[in-house]
Structure 1
């Protein structure tokens, strides 16, 4: 991945510069700003914004942030002296047009299309927030649970097939990112 492409903005602010692993895929149209770390084989898809000027954002290995998603964080506030960083683990699936704000997604979490996850919320590994849902501040989705709605509520436990499907999705996006990187390099 080349950080000096004219179709991607990598911006330092407040003395912080994004740290992006050379094996990560950053698609055209992305804006990555400030105290951001992106791990190996992760993919940030077309027209995403990852902005960390008031706190930090960490994205682990093999995680995908799909097209049009926005990731932000929150700085210190009364009652919250550390603010709310956004911490995303390894092998996480984040659907198209998702908003992640000051939340924690543990390894192997899943966030469906157009969902919102707010400050202080946590999604454990092998858990899923359904498409279009809003996980409000401070809520916690336990491992192997599906939550849906706005505000999101527990729906049911996930079976082995659902968990395996999420893991297959991670592998698909790692390979798909390689194909897109090759296509961009040839264009």
Structure 2
């Protein structure tokens, strides 16, 4: 069973058919929709501001989602994928966006619908990424537009993978 921890009277809440690995940590004011997954060694830590996740959001192995009490919450809309070892901090990630493996998204960034942040990219504080754009590099810069459904398809894969674990 994952570490589910209440802090200052604020307990994580989630919808139906969610999967949390045994080594995931979900702390504080975290609200998840249906069919979300938090994988091995991932941390979702809403101890100083809220984290809100829509439906079918997946937080992959080793990723960290955290907040800042002075800059605000993390908001992830439906079908967001946060790749292995990525860091998402006090930002907004729109429907169907993909945060690549090892990427970092800093405070007050806004990642557009269906956008992709490439593996290893650093999205600086306050950066606005448009819908269906691919950004990469350090610091991240616009590279090109996505193909139709390029980012959105990842969330469906992780819903399927989570069912394997829920059924085991």
TM-score in same-fold range (> 0.5): yes
Matched, 1:99 2:87: yes
Matched, 1:29 2:14: no
After TM superposition, the runs of 4+ consecutive aligned structure 1 residues lying more than 6 A away are none
- Provide the aligned C-alpha RMSD in A: 1.0
Task: Return the match for 2:155 from 161, 164, 170.
Answer: 170
User: Which residue in 2 is equivalent to 1:50?
Assistant: 44
User: Which residue in 2 is equivalent to 1:131?
Assistant: 119
What is the TM-score when the length of structure 2 is the normalising length? 0.96
**2: distance between equivalents of 1:168 and 1:101?**
23
SS of structure 2 residue aligned to 1:154 = strand
Task: Return the match for 2:6 from 5, 12, 16.
Answer: 12
Matches within 5 A, 1:78-117: 83-117=71-105
The structure with the larger Rg is 1
Aligned residues: 168
**1: distance between equivalents of 2:6 and 2:140?**
35
User: Which residue in 2 is equivalent to 1:119?
Assistant: 107
**1: distance between equivalents of 2:153 and 2:87?**
23
Following TM superposition, by how much is the alpha carbon of 1:38 offset from its aligned partner in structure 2, in angstroms? 1.3
**1: distance between equivalents of 2:11 and 2:124?**
30
**2: distance between equivalents of 1:109 and 1:90?**
9
Gaps of 5+ in 1: 77-82
Looking at both structures, which has the greater relative contact order when contacts are Cα pairs under 8 Å and sequence separation is at least 6? 2
Following TM superposition, by how much is the alpha carbon of 1:61 offset from its aligned partner in structure 2, in angstroms? 0.2
**1: distance between equivalents of 2:107 and 2:150?**
28
Following TM superposition, by how much is the alpha carbon of 1:15 offset from its aligned partner in structure 2, in angstroms? 1.5
Gaps of 5+ in 2: none
Following TM superposition, by how much is the alpha carbon of 1:181 offset from its aligned partner in structure 2, in angstroms? 1.7
